[in-house]
């Protein structure tokens, strides 16, 4: 028992205080790390733009990697205002053609596909920004990233202050469940930071963040043990991961993520109707906003599980089945939206 207590303290969980304060103490250092890391990156990029050198480029690469780690840990806490900032911080994939075409354009006028961590990654690792124009654009992108990270920190801490504790628990549970699902269904099957060959580092940070998040929730010991198993499995991934997808260690990490996702699904936190609405929101984001069919169907599976035993289960499941048929037929947004709205009205 003492070991568990030490582990929880190491993850930033203090005893004898409320959930909201524990959450704040866990998330605030990550937000500060992101804001501080991107600010240092921006200042170094601005200095590099004055006179690009190989030494300066190598320093920027290291600073990019350092700034990215807290962001990847924060994925387990990706709720509240994060959705507003995420497209400008971490859109993937980017459009290299559009990125090159828009060199020199005002960053504020650019779409998410040519901004954020991955646009910088491309200009640092894939086609290094050595010309004066490219170096200046790199600096402007880095400054934009730092400003967005600082704004996210302010917005998130304000959100924590104003949001009821029970709602925060439900949001944290949903974000943790979604990250576990994303690890086995997407992340551990394809690279996320291929230009820097840093996907393994991304996923290790994801697993660390997930363990920190789950340590805050009222979950059974099995879920906590599986989170630690996942963290160990991801820590053992080959690096770089980009050329090692057939390595047995990747398959093991994927299986550990799936096991954790299954265990979390059997240990729900919060009211069933609220969980169902969170899954419906995930469906909106995945299918209606991004057009992702498989991820949309995964969200509907989570929605069906959340509906089990609720007073309106039978009626709601009919709407979910209709939604599934629309998604499998790749129906356009205008055909799907009325069903989503009907489900939202039913569950509220």
The pLDDT of residue 175 is above 80:
yes
Give residue 299's pLDDT.
87
The pLDDT of residue 155 is above 70:
yes
Closest CA to 138 of 42, 69, 51, 58: 42
Give residue 275's pLDDT.
84
For every residue of 250-275, DSSP letters joined together read: HHHHHHHHHHHHHHHHTS--S-HHHH
Q: Model confidence over 36-49: pLDDT tens digits? A: 999 999 999 999 99
Residues 221-246, mean pLDDT to the nearest whole number: 95
Q: Model confidence over 211-220: pLDDT tens digits? A: 999 999 999 8
Distance from CA of residue 318 to its chain's centroid? Answer: 31
Closest CA to 63 of 121, 113, 114, 144: 121
Whole-number Å distance between alpha carbons of 139 and 73: 25
Contacts 24+ apart (CB under 8 A), 242-249: 242/191, 242/194, 242/197, 242/199, 245/189, 245/190
The pLDDT of residue 57 is above 60:
yes
Whether the full predicted model's pTM is greater than 0.75, yes or no, is: yes
């Amino acid at each position: 028992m003492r070991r568990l207590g030490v582990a929880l303290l190491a993850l930033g969980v203090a005893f004898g205080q409320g959930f909201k304060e524990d959450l704040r103490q866990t998330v605030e250092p990550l937000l500060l790390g992101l804001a501080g890391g991107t600010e240092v990156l921006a200042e170094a990029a601005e200095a590099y733009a004055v006179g690009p050198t190989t030494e300066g480029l190598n320093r920027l690469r290291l600073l990019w990697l350092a700034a990215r780690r807290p962001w990847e840990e924060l994925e387990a806490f990706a709720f509240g205002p994060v959705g507003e900032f995420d497209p400008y911080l971490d859109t993937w994939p980017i459009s290299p053609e559009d990125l090159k075409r828009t060199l020199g354009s005002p960053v504020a006028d650019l779409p998410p596909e040519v901004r954020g961590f991955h646009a910088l990654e491309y200009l640092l690792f894939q086609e290094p920004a050595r010309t004066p124009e490219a170096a200046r654009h790199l600096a402007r992108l880095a400054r934009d990233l730092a400003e967005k990270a600082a704004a996210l920190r302010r917005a998130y801490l304000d959100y924590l202050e104003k949001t009821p504790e029970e709602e925060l628990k439900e949001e944290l549970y949903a974000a943790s469940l979604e990250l576990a699902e994303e690890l086995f269904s997407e992340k551990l099957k394809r690279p996320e930071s291929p230009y820097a060959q840093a996907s393994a580092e991304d996923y290790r940070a994801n697993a660390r963040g997930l363990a920190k998040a789950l340590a805050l929730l009222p979950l059974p010991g099995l879920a906590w043990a599986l989170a630690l198993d996942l963290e160990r499995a991801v820590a053992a991934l080959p690096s770089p991961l980009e050329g090692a997808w057939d390595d047995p260690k990747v398959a093991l990490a994927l299986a550990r993520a799936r096991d954790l996702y299954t265990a979390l699904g059997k240990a729900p936190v919060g009211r069933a109707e609220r969980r169902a609405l969170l899954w419906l929101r995930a469906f909106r984001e995945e299918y209606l906003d991004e057009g992702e069919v498989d991820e949309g169907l995964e969200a509907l599976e989570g929605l069906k599980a959340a509906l089990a035993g609720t007073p309106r289960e039978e009626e709601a499941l009919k709407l979910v089945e209709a939604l599934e048929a629309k998604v499998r037929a790749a129906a356009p947004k205008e055909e799907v939206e009325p069903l989503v709205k009907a489900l939202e009205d039913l569950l509220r």
